[in-house]
Structure 1
Amino acid sequence: MAKHLGPAGLLALLALLAGGPFSGGIAARAGTPLAIGCTATTDCASAALGVEDGIFARHGLDATLTLIGLNSNIPAALMSGSLQIGGPTPSVFLQAVDGGLDLVGVAGASSTSPATADTAATVVRAGETVKSAQDFVGKKVGVPGIGAFLDVLFRRWLIGHGVDPAKVSFVEVTFPTMNDVLKSGSVDAVVTAEPVLGRIVRAGTGTVAAEFLADVPPKEPQILYAATRAWAEANPKTVADFRAAIAEAASAVNADPDRARAALSRFTKLPLDLVRTMKVSVSDPVLTEPGLAWWVDTMKKQDMLQGSLDVKALLVP
C-alpha cells in the first residue's frame, strides 16, 4: 500500500521523525475504554481536544489517543484491534476497502475550506518557470507518496486544467527531504504542505506555483473517523457516544482554535510555539454519502479504485 499522509495543516514531517508508527498518546480515564489513533495533523483536533478537555469522559468514554506515524498504518491497526477508531484520509480508507478490508466511516473529523486552502501547494524550484498547469508537462514532481492525499488532489487539479497527469513524472519524496531534493535539482517541484511549505519558501529554495486545494469544493472530507464494521455493529452505544463527543469537540475546536492548538501540542509532543504557527483544519463531525462519493469519483478518474463501492454501505447509520 502506498504511503498516505494527511492534508491541509499537516505536521507529518515531525510525525515521521517521531519514530515508529505508534508513539506517545494522551488519555482521559472514565467509562468505556476506547483506543483512537490519528496522525500528527490538525485534522484530528476534535479527538485531541476531546481527550484534553474531558469531553469523551463526559460522554462515558475512557478514550486514549495514540499518535500514528503514517496514515496508511491506520487500516491495519483497526483490523488488528490495536485501535477501535482511527483517522484515515479518504484515499487511505477507500483504497483499504477496495482492497478487501471491511471498514466503515463512523464520523467526520475535518473538511476542506477556503480558509485553509493555502496550507498545501505545489512548489517549483527556484529558477523554474511555471505559470500554468500546462507548464508541469515533462516536469519531475516529488509527492509524499504515490496515491497519497496530496498527490490525488494535485493530479485532480491537473486534470481540471486540461493536463493528463501521465505527462508529468511523479516520484516519492518524504517531507523531511523535500527542501534538499528541490535545492539539488533532483526534482523540478514538490507537492507539499505546512510546515514544510513555509520553510521551503522562506529558504528561497522554491516558489508556490499552484495552491491546488483552492480548486477543491468546500466541506469535502479531509480526515474521517473509521472503524471495522464488526466492531461498530457490536458496539452501537459506544459509536453513538463517540459521535456525540466528537460533535461537541468539533464545535469547541472551531470556536477556539488556540485551545485546540494546546491539545495538539500535547498530543504530538511538539512545541506550542510551532503549533501556533499552523492553521487548524475546520473540524467537521458530519460524514456524508456525497462527501465519500466525491472521493470515489475523484479516485476513479485516476484509476485508483478497481471495484464498485457502495458508498451508503460504508457509513454507519
Structure 2
Amino acid sequence: MEKTTIKVGALPIPDPVSLYIAQAKGFFKEEGLTVEPVTIVGGAAALPQIESGALDLSQTNYVSTFVAVGAGKKIKLIADMYQAGPDAFNIMVAKDSPIASVADLKGRTVMVNTLNNVGTLAVTAQLKAAGLTDRDVTFVEKPFPDMGNAIVSGQADAGWITEPFITANQSQHGFRTLADTMTGQTANLPIAGWMATEEWTQKHPKTLAAFQRAISKAQQLASSDRKEIEAMLPTYTKIDAKTASSITLGTYPSELDASRLQKVADLMLEYGYLKSPLDVKSVIAQPAGG
C-alpha cells in the first residue's frame, strides 16, 4: 500500500460516525491502515487542509464540494457518509413565537450554521413551496450550539437546526418545529461524504480502496444497527448516551450513488449556487483500473 497511516478530518457530529465505528471494530486495521481522526471545524474549512496535505481525507458536505468544484477545485468524492431523513433538519421557532407556517417567515430573520450552504438551500426549497423566495427572509450565520439562546434573546425569528440541537432546544427552551426542511424537493437529500484531492486519489489508489472498503463496512453496520451509532457518539461528540438514544438521525448509505448526488447539484443550479450544470459522475473518484 502507498500509505499506511492517514489523517482524516471529521466533525464532532453524528454524520461521520462510521469513521469511529471502523476504528473501534478494527476494520481499518484489517485493511492494513492506521487512521488518525482529526477534529475539523467545517467541511469547507477542511478544503485548504486536504490541499496542503495536512489531512489526507476529510468529511465534507456536498453543497460545499460542488461549489468548490464549480470554482475549479480538483477534489473528488470517495465515499458516502450521511443522507437526510425525516425531522433531522428542521426550521424551529421559540414556543411563544407568532410564526405558525413557513409563509409567516416573510420579512423574518432565519439562522443557519453556514451561509450559502446546505441550510440555506434546504430552507430556500421550503420557502419556494410556500410561495416565497430566499429574498423574502434574512439569513444570518450562527453555530448550531449558539442558536437556541440567540433565538430566545430575539436575535433571530427562527433557526435551521439539526440534531442533537433539535432535541436540546425542545427540552431546554420548548422550541417547536415549524417545518422539516428535508421534504418535497429535498426529501432524502444527500448531506455529507468523504473527500480527497484528485492528486491524492491518483497517487494512493490502494490506500483509497482500503479506506473505502473499511468505511463501507462500517456504514452497513451503522445503517443496520442504531445501537452501534448510539454507543459511538459519546466517544467523539458532546452527545451523551441518553441524548444519543433519543435523537432523530438520517441514514448512512454504503455506496456513492451519482444519480442521488446529482439531485443536490441540480437543486444548486436551480437556486443559483452553481453558475452552470455539474455532472456529478465527474466528481466521484473512479476505482483503480475502473
2:10 is matched by which residue type in structure 1? Answer: C
Which of 77, 84, 105 lines up with 1:136 in the alignment?
105
User: 1:112 corresponds to which residue?
Assistant: 84
Structure-2 change in CA distance of 1:263 and 1:180 (3 Å): closer
Q: What is the Cα deviation at residue 43 of structure 1?
A: 1.4
SS of the equivalent of 1:118 reads coil
Q: What is the Cα deviation at residue 270 of structure 1?
A: 5.1
Aligned pairs (5 A) from 1:206-217: 206-215=175-184
Structure-2 change in CA distance of 1:72 and 1:257 (3 Å): same
Q: What is the Cα deviation at residue 246 of structure 1?
A: 1.5
User: 1:76 corresponds to which residue?
Assistant: 48
Q: Would the aligned equivalents of 2:266 and 2:277 in 1 still touch at CA under 8 Å?
A: no
1:298 is the counterpart of 2:264: no
Structure-2 change in CA distance of 1:217 and 1:233 (3 Å): same
What TM-score do the two structures reach when normalised by structure 2?
A: 0.89
Deviates more, 1:267-276 or 1:60-69: 267-276
Which of 280, 283, 287 lines up with 1:314 in the alignment?
283
Q: What is the Cα deviation at residue 44 of structure 1?
A: 0.9
SS of the equivalent of 1:88 reads strand
What TM-score do the two structures reach when normalised by structure 1?
A: 0.82
1:267 is matched by which residue type in structure 2? Answer: Y
Give the gaps of 5 or more residues in structure 2.
Answer: none
SS of the equivalent of 2:259 reads helix
User: 1:189 corresponds to which residue?
Assistant: 158
User: 2:222 corresponds to which residue?
Assistant: 253
Give the distance between the partners of 2:133 and 2:190, measured in 1 at CA.
25
Structure-2 change in CA distance of 1:220 and 1:125 (3 Å): closer
SS of the equivalent of 1:82 reads coil
Q: Would the aligned equivalents of 1:118 and 1:214 in 2 still touch at CA under 8 Å?
A: no
Structure-2 change in CA distance of 1:217 and 1:166 (3 Å): closer
Q: Would the aligned equivalents of 2:125 and 2:186 in 1 still touch at CA under 8 Å?
A: no
User: 1:50 corresponds to which residue?
Assistant: 22
Residue identity over aligned pairs, in percent, reads: 23
Q: C-alpha deviations, 1:230-258, integer Å up to 9, x for none?
A: 11011111222222111211111122222
Structure-2 change in CA distance of 1:194 and 1:209 (3 Å): same
Structure-2 change in CA distance of 1:269 and 1:176 (3 Å): closer
User: 1:93 corresponds to which residue?
Assistant: 65
Structure-2 change in CA distance of 1:219 and 1:189 (3 Å): closer
Q: What is the Cα deviation at residue 268 of structure 1?
A: 3.0
Deviates more, 1:263-272 or 1:220-229: 263-272
SS of the equivalent of 1:309 reads coil
User: 2:34 corresponds to which residue?
Assistant: 62
Aligned pairs (5 A) from 1:250-289: 250-268=219-237, 271-289=240-258
Q: Would the aligned equivalents of 2:76 and 2:197 in 1 still touch at CA under 8 Å?
A: yes
Q: Would the aligned equivalents of 2:122 and 2:186 in 1 still touch at CA under 8 Å?
A: no
Give the distance between the partners of 2:127 and 2:176, measured in 1 at CA.
18
Q: What is the Cα deviation at residue 87 of structure 1?
A: 1.2
Q: Would the aligned equivalents of 1:104 and 1:228 in 2 still touch at CA under 8 Å?
A: yes
User: 1:156 corresponds to which residue?
Assistant: 125
Q: C-alpha deviations, 1:262-311, integer Å up to 9, x for none?
A: 23322336543443343443211211222222111111222112344332
Q: C-alpha deviations, 1:179-210, integer Å up to 9, x for none?
A: 22211222111111222222322234532111
Q: Would the aligned equivalents of 2:148 and 2:173 in 1 still touch at CA under 8 Å?
A: no
Deviates more, 1:200-209 or 1:237-246: 200-209
Give the distance between the partners of 2:178 and 2:189, measured in 1 at CA.
23
Counting matched residue pairs gives: 284
Q: What is the Cα deviation at residue 81 of structure 1?
A: 0.8
SS of the equivalent of 1:146 reads coil
Structure-2 change in CA distance of 1:100 and 1:246 (3 Å): same
Q: What is the Cα deviation at residue 177 of structure 1?
A: 2.4
SS of the equivalent of 1:226 reads strand
Structure-2 change in CA distance of 1:64 and 1:216 (3 Å): farther
Which of 207, 232, 237 lines up with 2:201 in the alignment?
232
Cα root mean square deviation, aligned: 2.1
Which of 145, 170, 176 lines up with 2:145 in the alignment?
176
Q: What is the Cα deviation at residue 150 of structure 1?
A: 2.0
Q: What is the Cα deviation at residue 163 of structure 1?
A: 1.5
1:297 is matched by which residue type in structure 2? Answer: D
SS of the equivalent of 1:128 reads coil
Q: What is the Cα deviation at residue 216 of structure 1?
A: 5.2
Q: What is the Cα deviation at residue 148 of structure 1?
A: 2.7
